Structure 1
Amino acid sequence: MTSLCPTALAAPAPPRRRLSPNAAFLLQASMTLGFLAGSSAPTPFYAIYQNQWGFSATMLTLAFGIYALAVLSALLVGGRLSDHVGRRPILIAAAAAQAVSMLVFATADGLPDLLLARVVQGLSAGAAIAAAGAGLLDIDKGRGAIANSVAPMMGTAAGGLLAGLMIQYLPAPMHLVYALLGSIFVLQGAAVFFMEETAPVRPGAWASLRPRLAVPLAVRGPLLLAAPALVAVWAMAGFYASLGPTLIRSFAGTTSILLGGFALFVLAGSGALAVYLIREASPTALVRLGAFALIAGMALVMTAIAQHSVLLFLLGSAVAGLGFGTGFQGALRSVVLLIAPQERAGVLSVLFVIAYLAMGLPAMVAGYDVAHQGNIVVTAYEFGSGVVLLALLALLGTARR
C-alpha cells in the first residue's frame, strides 16, 4: 500500500487577496487626504486650548510651526525611503503613528502633550505623503498627478471644517473628532496590508536616510521654474490657516469656529474643483492661469479686509482657490511627469519640502507679528502683498518656458 507523506496531503495555502489597482489608488489618495485632514483638525481647537491651559500667542504659533518642522524633517530624512523598502511598510507604520497621535490629542491636558502630538503627527505625515504620492504615480502617472494636487487641498480644508462642525453641533468634540480620525487611520493601515507592492525593494535604504535635497538633472530646470508657483500657492494656504479664521470672524462680529474654517474650505474646495475641470490643460497654461487667479483673488481679499465684507472675502477666497488648485497642479505636473519610477518619492519629497516651507515659515512670522504688533489687518496686507509678488514671479517663470 502506497503511503502518502504529510506534505502531499496538505492543501496549498489559498492566495492572499489583493486590492485591485483602482482600489489601491483610491486607498492611497484617501490616506493623503486623511493625513492632511488630521493635521488641520486641531486648528479650530487652538483658541480653546489657549483659554484652558493659559499659554501665550507665541506658544500658539509654535504649535502651528512645530508640525511643519516635523513634516520637513520626515521628508528630508525618510522621504526617499519608500523608493528602497517599498510603499507598503512606510504607509502601514505611518498610519499606526497617526492613530497614536490622535490618542495623544484626545488625552492631552497641557501644552507639552499638544506639542508631542503635533511632532508625532508631522513625522508620520511627512513619511506618508511622499510614499503615498509616489504610489499614486506608480499606478497611473496622469491620475496620480491630479490626485497629488487634489488630496492635500481637500484634506487641509476637510479637517478644519469637520472639527468646526463637531464643535458647533456635537457633544465632546475634542474627543470625538480624534476618535473618528484615529479609527480611520487604523482601517487605512489595515487595508494597506492587502495592497500590491508597486516599488520593488532596492539596496541603499540606510543611505537614503541621509538628509539630501537632490533631484535628477533632467528635473532641475522644470523644478526651478515651478518653484515660484509652489511657494505662492502654499504661502496663500498658510495665510488662510493662520490669519483667515480670525479675520473673517472679526468681519462678521462672531466667535463662530465653524465660520472661521469655512473660508479655508471655500479656498480648497474651489481649488480641487478647478483641478478636476481643467485637468486637460498644459502645465504651463495651468501655472499661468493660477498666477492670474491668485493676484485677482488676493486683490479681492484685501479689498474685503478694508471694507469688512464677509461676502467679498469668501468671493476672493473662491477666486484665489482657483489659483491655488491650477497653480499647484501645473507646478506639480511640470515636474512629476519627468520622474523615473525609482526616483518618485525622493522628488516628491523635495516638492513638498518647498510647499511646507512656503506654508509654515510665513505663517509663523505672521503669528509672531500679530502677537507683538497687535494689528492683524496690517499683517494681513503685508502677507497678501507677498503672495501677489510671488504670483508675479510665477508668471515670469511661465514666460521663461
Structure 2
Amino acid sequence: MPDSRSSAPRNRSVFAFGLLAYAFAAIMVGTTLPTPMYALYAERMHFAVLTTTVIYATYAGGVLFALLVFGRWSDAVGRRPMLLFGVVAALASAVVFLVADSVPQLLVGRVLSGLSAGLFTGTATAAVIEAAPPRWRTRAATVATIANIGGLGSGPLLAGLLVQYVPHPLQLPFLIHIVLAVMAGVAVIVVPETSERCGSIGVQRLSVPAEVRAVFVIAALAAFAGFAVMGLYTAVAPSFLANVVGIDNYAIAGAIACSIFAASAVAQIGATLIPPQRAVAIGCAVLAAGMAVLTVALYFSSLTGLIVAAVVSGAGQGISFSRGLAAVAELTPPERRAEVSSTYFVVAYVAISLPVVSEGLAARVWGLRTAGVAFAIAIGVLAVICLVAILWQESRQARNAELSAIT
C-alpha cells in the first residue's frame, strides 16, 4: 500500500508549484492587456502614435525601478511579501485603467503595471523553481518561462477578443484581470514560503566583471535588438494593422501581438540544448530574417507578412535572449551572477522603451509606414552586427586553440 504520509507532502508540493505558476501567469497577463486598446484610447482621447509609444514605454520605467530597488528584497524578507506587493501593484494598475479618461491616468496605469512585472519577474521565477516537487525540478525553470511568456502572450489575445466582440471594451478586460489578480493573491497566501530568507535589503548593484564583458556586450546587444522588436509589436502592431494594412480588427491585432510571445516561448524551450554562444548567433540570424520580412510586409501592406515577421522575430528574440543570458552566466563568478543578470535585464527593458519612442517620433515626421521600415532595417543591421561579432569571436577562439595545440 502507498504511504499516505509521504504522498501528502508531495501533493502539497505539486499544488503549491501549480498555484505559483498560475499567479505568475495571471499577473503577467495584465502587463500586455492594453495592447489592442491603444488604438481605441487614441481614437477616444485624440492622441497620435507618438503618445501611444510614450504610454507604452512608461511600463519599462516601472519594471526598472522594481528590479533595481526591490530586486534583492525577496531573498531577505521572503518571496510571499514581495509577490503580494506585486499583486497589489497589478490590482492598482487595473483599477486606474478601469476609470482612465486621460493620458496622465494611462501613464500611471502603465507605471504600476511595470512595477508589478518587475516585482514578479525575478521573485516568481525563484518561487516556482523552489516550490517544484523533485520530479519537476529539472523542468521548473521551463515552467516559469512558460508562465511568464504565456501570460504576456495571453494578455493581448484576451483583450483583443473582448474589445472586438464584447460590450464595454475599455472596462471588461480590466474587470476580468482584477478577478485573475485577486485569485493570484489568494494563491500566494495559501502557498508556504519557499525561501530561507537570507541576504540583505538594498539597491541592486549593476556591473559586469572584466572577464565577461566581451561576451556580455554581444549578448546584451542581441537582447536589445530582440526586446526592441517585442516593444514595437506590443505598442505599435495595432497601428500597423489599422493604418498600414487597412484592417480595423482588435482581435487580429491582439493575435499578432500574442504570436511574437508564443514564438519566443517555444524558441526558448527548444534552444536549451544548443550551446549558448552558437544559439545567440542563430537567434541573431533569425531575428535579422524577421526584420527583412517585416520590411517587405510594411512596404506591401501585407497582413500575412506582418504575422510571419512576428513569429520569425519572436523565435529569434527567444533564442538570442535566453541563450545569451546562459552564455553570460557560464562565465560569471557565482557570487556576481545576480548583479550581472540584473544588468542584462536592464539593457533588455531599456530596449522596449527608447527605440519604441523613437519609432513614435519618426512616425510623426515620416509617417508610420516609413518609420516602421526604418526601424526594421536598423534592428536588422544591429542583429547582423551581433552575428558577425559572434562568428569573428568563434573564429579567433578556434585559432587560439590551434596555436595552443601546436605549442
Scaled by the length of structure 2, the TM-score of the pair is 0.83
Question: Offset at 1:367?
Answer: 1.0
Query: Counterpart in 2 of 1:290?
Result: 283
Query: Counterpart in 2 of 1:122?
Result: 114
Q: Distance in 2 between matches of 1:172 and 1:254?
A: 21
Q: Distance in 2 between matches of 1:194 and 1:135?
A: 14
Task: Give SS of 2:352's match.
Answer: helix
Query: Counterpart in 2 of 1:157?
Result: 153
- The answer to whether 1:181 aligns with 2:177 is yes
Query: Counterpart in 1 of 2:4?
Result: none
- 1:2-401, aligned counterparts within 5 Å? 20-55=12-47, 57-138=49-130, 143-147=139-143, 149-205=145-201, 208=202, 210=203, 212-214=205-207, 222-336=215-329, 346-371=339-364, 373-399=365-391, 400=393
For the 8 Å contact 2:264–2:314, the answer to whether it is kept is yes
Q: Which piece of structure 1 moves more, 214-223 or 109-118? A: 214-223
Distance 1:364 1:148, change over 3 A: farther
Question: Offset at 1:336?
Answer: 4.9
Task: Give SS of 1:163's match.
Answer: helix
Question: Offset at 1:280?
Answer: 2.5
For the 8 Å contact 1:234–1:359, the answer to whether it is kept is yes
Q: Distance in 2 between matches of 1:303 and 1:367?
A: 20
Q: Distance in 2 between matches of 1:111 and 1:247?
A: 21
What residue ranges of structure 2 are gaps of 5+ in the alignment? 1-7, 395-407
For the 8 Å contact 1:149–1:329, the answer to whether it is kept is no
Question: Offset at 1:27?
Answer: 3.7
Question: Offset at 1:397?
Answer: 5.0
Deviations 1:51-86 (A, max 9, x none): 333345543332112121121111111112112222
Q: Distance in 2 between matches of 1:390 and 1:112?
A: 34
Deviations 1:24-67 (A, max 9, x none): 44444444433332111112222222333334554333211212
Q: Distance in 2 between matches of 1:217 and 1:19?
A: 46
Q: Which piece of structure 1 moves more, 170-179 or 196-205? A: 196-205
Greater helix share, structure number: 2
Scaled by the length of structure 1, the TM-score of the pair is 0.84
Q: Which piece of structure 1 moves more, 260-269 or 63-72? A: 260-269
Q: Distance in 2 between matches of 1:318 and 1:139?
A: 32
Overall identity of the aligned pairs, in %:
32
Task: Give SS of 1:122's match.
Answer: helix
For the 8 Å contact 1:199–1:342, the answer to whether it is kept is no
Question: Offset at 1:383?
Answer: 0.9
- What residue identity is the alignment partner of 1:97? A
Q: Distance in 2 between matches of 1:335 and 1:26?
A: 30
What residue ranges of structure 1 are gaps of 5+ in the alignment? 1-15
For the 8 Å contact 1:149–1:325, the answer to whether it is kept is no
Query: Counterpart in 1 of 2:402?
Result: none
- What residue identity is the alignment partner of 1:323? G
Q: Distance in 2 between matches of 1:328 and 1:214?
A: 19
Task: Give SS of 1:353's match.
Answer: helix
Deviations 1:156-192 (A, max 9, x none): 3221111110011112232211111111111112211
Q: Distance in 1 between matches of 2:382 and 2:131?
A: 33
